[in-house]
Amino acid sequence: MDTADLALAIFHHLLVFSLAGIIGAEFVLIRGDLGAATLKRLAGIDRHYGVIAALIIVVGIGRVFYGLKGWEFYVYNWVFWAKIAAFGAVGLLSIIPTVRFISWNRQASGNASFQVPAAELASVKTYIRAEAFIFLLIPVFAAAMARGYGY
Q: Are 49 and 100 in contact (CB under 8 A)?
A: no
Helix ranges restricted to H, 1-111? 3-29, 36-66, 71-75, 78-93, 95-110
pTM above 0.85, yes or no: yes
SS3 65: helix
Q: For residues 29 and 9, what is the distance between their CA atoms, to the nearest angstrom?
A: 30
Length of the chain: 151
User: Tens digit of pLDDT for each residue in 7-56?
Assistant: 999 999 999 999 999 999 999 999 877 888 899 999 999 999 999 999 99
- List the one residue out of 93, 74, 77 whose CA is nearest residue 19: 93
What would the pLDDT profile of 65-107 be if each residue is shown by its tens digit? Answer: 998 888 999 999 999 999 999 999 999 999 999 999 999 999 9
